[in-house]
Structure 1
């Protein structure tokens, strides 16, 4: 599979330093399709590896899983025809270092119930994405998009010390 992410319509946004945090960040828009969600997940994995969180580690796998679930939810529940979703992945310093994943879509009327308010889907074939996020992430939530319609769903995964990477 080849993807031209450097097309004139959708320029790739390389890793950049956030001046107020001084931490690496990866931000990019993706088409609101399963392929866009898959590409977002893969590029997040590549970026984590470049930042020193290598493939095969618990942290890498957890952050990639969270990213995958949030991007798939943006496609399934936040899709608006002709609108992309946005992924922001960054490392943050809180009381402990964490990877923060933010996925923004343009559908504001379909919002998740919030942390601690999710119901198990029973025997349904789907509906477990945010339950996985809630079980793996250190914390998660959502907030309305600042400009225009939509929402941002975010999650943070605390990065353990170097001995357990």
Structure 2
């Protein structure tokens, strides 16, 4: 029998909240995400806090403007683990976000370019029920 290595404990911190699919809900999602990050040791105004604020603001704005289904909320989840944060935003609209074409005059899509610039990686995944989840992973400095 080979000796087994002890597994290191990994702490994963999670925050989850549903918000109304309104501008007020989007603003509250950003504010609570930054507050939660502060509780996890990344103070307001730090590069990590600013990055998460930008990502949540863009995802929540997209959920309100493009992913809104009347009477349905959106959900924000944050998973903090070993210097990274995974931001997940779920809404009930079936359309998936796409990066804009290389057309500088294109309407919209620039928020996804910002997300791509600050994220380690991002994508979409199906969710239970209607809609999708857009997720973004960022390194916290």
TM-score normalised according to structure 2 size: 0.86
**Secondary structure, in 3 states, of the residue corresponding to 1:49?**
helix
**Secondary structure, in 3 states, of the residue corresponding to 1:103?**
strand
> Structure 1 148/139 Cα, relative in aligned 2: closer, same or farther at 3 Å?
same
Greater radius of gyration (CA): 2
Q: When the two structures are aligned, how many residues end up with a matched partner?
A: 132
- Structure 2 match to 1:106: 92
- Structure 2 match to 1:62: 51
Is 2:119 the counterpart of 1:119? no
2:35 to 46, 57, 64: 46
> Structure 1 125/112 Cα, relative in aligned 2: closer, same or farther at 3 Å?
closer
| Structure 1 residues without counterparts, runs of 5 or longer | 1-20, 161-165
C-alpha displacement of 1:54: 0.5
Q: Measure the CA separation in 1 of the matches of 2:81 and 2:25.
A: 25
1:37 to 6, 17, 26: 26
Structural RMSD (CA): 1.6
Q: Please give the per-residue CA displacement for 1:137-156, whole angstroms capped at 9, x wherever unaligned.
A: 111000111x2110000001
Is 2:114 the counterpart of 1:128? no
- The answer to which structure, 1 or 2, has the higher relative contact order (CA under 8 A, 6+ apart) is 2
C-alpha displacement of 1:66: 0.6
Q: Please give the per-residue CA displacement for 1:38-91, whole angstroms capped at 9, x wherever unaligned.
A: 000001011111110011111110111111111111111110000000000120
